[in-house]
Amino acid sequence: MKALLALEDGRTFQGYAFGTEGEVGGEVVFDTGMTGYQEILTDPSFRGQIVTMTYPLIGNYGLNSQDSESSRPQVEALIVREKSAIYSSWRGEETLEEYFKRHNLLGLERVDTRALTKHIRERGALRGVISTQDLDPASLVEKARQIPPMIGRDLVKEVTTSMPYVWQEQGKFSIAVIDCGVKFNILRELAKRNCRVVVYPATYSAKEIMKENPQGVLLSNGPGDPATLFYLVELVREIMGEIPVLGICIGHQIMAQAVGGKTFKLKFGHHGANHPVKDLRSGWVAVTTQNHGFVVDPTTLPSEIEITHLNLNDSTLEGMKHKRLPFFSVQFHPEAHPGPHDTAYLFDEFIKMVEDNLG
């Protein structure tokens, strides 16, 4: 079925729908990962966004029941150049088309994704609408302009768990994970390191979390504008210095605000599995997975914060730590390790920090 993508600046792209029919809107971004489309589809950090894959063939190794990063798809829609009708992998269980139909998810294929990506790079991330029902460009462009902008949106409350739950019951260390849109692999990495892992709603107070006596706190990744998350900033201010804290992605941005830093929106964000990041402490460069539209302004950080990681593409801040307190964070995703190990050592650093804090 024919479908149309319309962007808020008036640019339109024709294609063909797969999965389901209908109309969806969101901020249109591009992801440069060559693989990992199942993880992208289910990453809560993509809530409110339509994702364009720059790699031209998507779906060739299928989807399975093990690789999802949350319990359901999180993207608003997916745009691809070509959808593979078959898959070839011993781990594959269904095709991309079957997955989209099962989840009532809208996809768009046979789009000039190269032209769309270049347009986003030039103009920045844009609000857009995909429709199989309304193929009038002027009408769809106006609908795109009515979508709330990402700046000022709190999407964490849409993806966080409604109640606490235990991911792993037994473990040497007790870790509380604040669910801002946590990816399952973050929980798996903690579990592999002999941790009791309990996940809490982002709306819980510091008092509610600390009464369970966790030995460390991890603030997860998540979607939306970090500047709206004042309740999480206050939570961090109340617990920092008490027990070790690690932040990942939006968790990093929350921690930066807790010490007085500010965030700003990137032109088109960092989305992909091939972003080089330098650890300034060791000089080691890792290829990282990233998914964020906002970053911390390093010039707003106080003197007690040390910058530990930098993005080698655009020199944006990728990591920081407190000079006195057990408190550090990274903008990228150490749990994704596309290399396949890369920055997983940061979880080891966190566990050592927890162990040292216990004396």
At 237-296, the pLDDT tens digits run 999 999 999 999 999 999 999 999 999 999 999 999 999 999 999 999 999 999 999 999
As a whole number of angstroms, the distance between CA 269 and CA 125 comes to 8
What's the whole-number mean pLDDT along residues 222-250? 97
Residues linked to residue 14 through DSSP beta bridges, in sequence order? 4
pLDDT in tens, 74-94: 999 999 999 999 999 999 999
**pLDDT given at position 260:** 98
Active site residue 119: no
Burial label for 17, CB within 10 Å (0-12, 13-18, 19+), is: buried
Plot region of 11 (φ>0 → left; ψ -120 to 50 → alpha; else → beta)? beta
As a whole number of angstroms, the distance between CA 189 and CA 186 comes to 5
What's the whole-number mean pLDDT along residues 152-157? 98
Question: Do the beta carbons of residue 197 and residue 175 sit within 8 Å?
Answer: yes
As a whole number of angstroms, the distance between CA 350 and CA 301 comes to 22
Active site residue 335: yes
The values of phi and psi at residue 294, to 5°, are: -120, 155
Looking at every residue in the chain, the average pLDDT score rounds to 97
Query: Over 80: is that where the pLDDT of 340 sits?
Result: no
What's the whole-number mean pLDDT along residues 168-197? 97
Q: What percent of the chain stands above pLDDT 90?
A: 97
**pLDDT given at position 341:** 73
Question: Do the beta carbons of residue 21 and residue 133 sit within 8 Å?
Answer: yes
Active-site pick, 8, 27, 109, 335: 335
What's the whole-number mean pLDDT along residues 297-306? 98
Active-site pick, 109, 249, 309, 318: 249
pLDDT in tens, 124-146: 999 999 999 999 999 999 999 99
Question: What residues contact residue 293 under an 8 Å CB cut-off, 6+ apart?
Answer: 27, 29, 125, 150, 265, 266, 269
The values of phi and psi at residue 97, to 5°, are: -60, -45
pTM: 0.96
Active-site pick, 252, 270, 292, 333: 333
Distances (CA, A) of 251 to 17, 33, 45: 35, 22, 11
Query: Over 80: is that where the pLDDT of 337 sits?
Result: no
Query: Over 90: is that where the pLDDT of 63 sits?
Result: yes
**pLDDT given at position 338:** 75
**pLDDT given at position 336:** 87
Q: Which of 125, 327, 332 is nearest to 218 (CA)?
A: 327
Kindly list the structural domains of the chain, giving each domain's residue range(s) and its CATH number in brackets, ordered by start.
Answer: 2-145 (3.50.30.20), 156-358 (3.40.50.880)
Identify each DSSP E strand in the chain by its residue range: 2-7, 12-19, 23-31, 49-53, 57-58, 77-79, 82-83, 106-109, 126-131, 165-168, 173-179, 195-201, 216-219, 245-248, 262-279, 285-297, 305-311, 317-322, 327-330
Query: Which run of H or E residues covers position 101?
Result: helix 96-102
Active site residue 21: no
Q: What percent of the chain stands above pLDDT 70?
A: 100
Q: Which band of pLDDT confidence, cut at 50, 70 and 90, is reported for residue 359?
A: confident
**pLDDT given at position 342:** 83
Question: Do the beta carbons of residue 19 and residue 106 sit within 8 Å?
Answer: yes
Could you give the count of Cα atoms lying within 13 Å of 280 in the half-sphere of its Cβ?
15
Token digits of residue 340: 């396949």
